[in-house]
Amino acid sequence: MKCTVRITISLKKGMLDPEARAIRHALENLGFATEALSTARVFLVTMEAASKAAAAAQAAKMCERLLANPVIHRYEIEVLK
């Protein structure tokens, strides 16, 4: 079956997010008060897989091998269809 997986890569808790800090500052300049802001990266991956669970497992391997850097990142996987 064809599965589409959404992979979200974000920084682990406590990691400095300089980009988020700069964006928050820019929002503040525009008059938007924010309490917290973090950035994440989303990948939509479509693949052929035996089941949704198999697609999720394959996506996890992609994260481990390339998409995430285990020193700084965490990842979430959601099978969309």
Partner 1 sequence: MRFAVVRFGGSNCDRDTWHVLQEVLGVDTDLVWYKEGLPRGYDAVVLPGGFSYGDYLRAGAIAARTPVMQDIQRHVQEGKLVLGICNGAQMSAEAGFVEGTFAVNAYPKFLCRPVHLRVETVSSPFTSRFREGEVIRLPIAHKEGRFITPPETMAALNREHRVAFRFCDEKGKVSEATNHNGSLESVTGVLGQFRNVLALMPHPERASEEVLGSVDGRRIFESMIRHVEIEG
**Which residues contact partner 1 by CB under 8 A?**
15-16, 18-19, 21-22, 65-67, 69, 71-72
Question: Coil, strand or helix: which one is 62?
Answer: helix
| CB closer to partner 1, 21 vs 61 | 21
Residue entry with tokens 């269809």 = 81
The nearest distance, CB 19 to partner 1, in angstroms, is 5
How many CB atoms within 10 Å of residue 44? Answer: 9
- Closest to partner 1 by CB, 67 or 79: 67
The closest of 11, 2, 3, 7 to 73, measured between CA atoms, is 11
Instruction: State whether residue 37 is helix, strand or coil.
Output: coil
Report in angstroms how near the CB of residue 17 gets to partner 1 at its nearest: 9
Would you say 33 or 66 has its CB closer to partner 1?
66
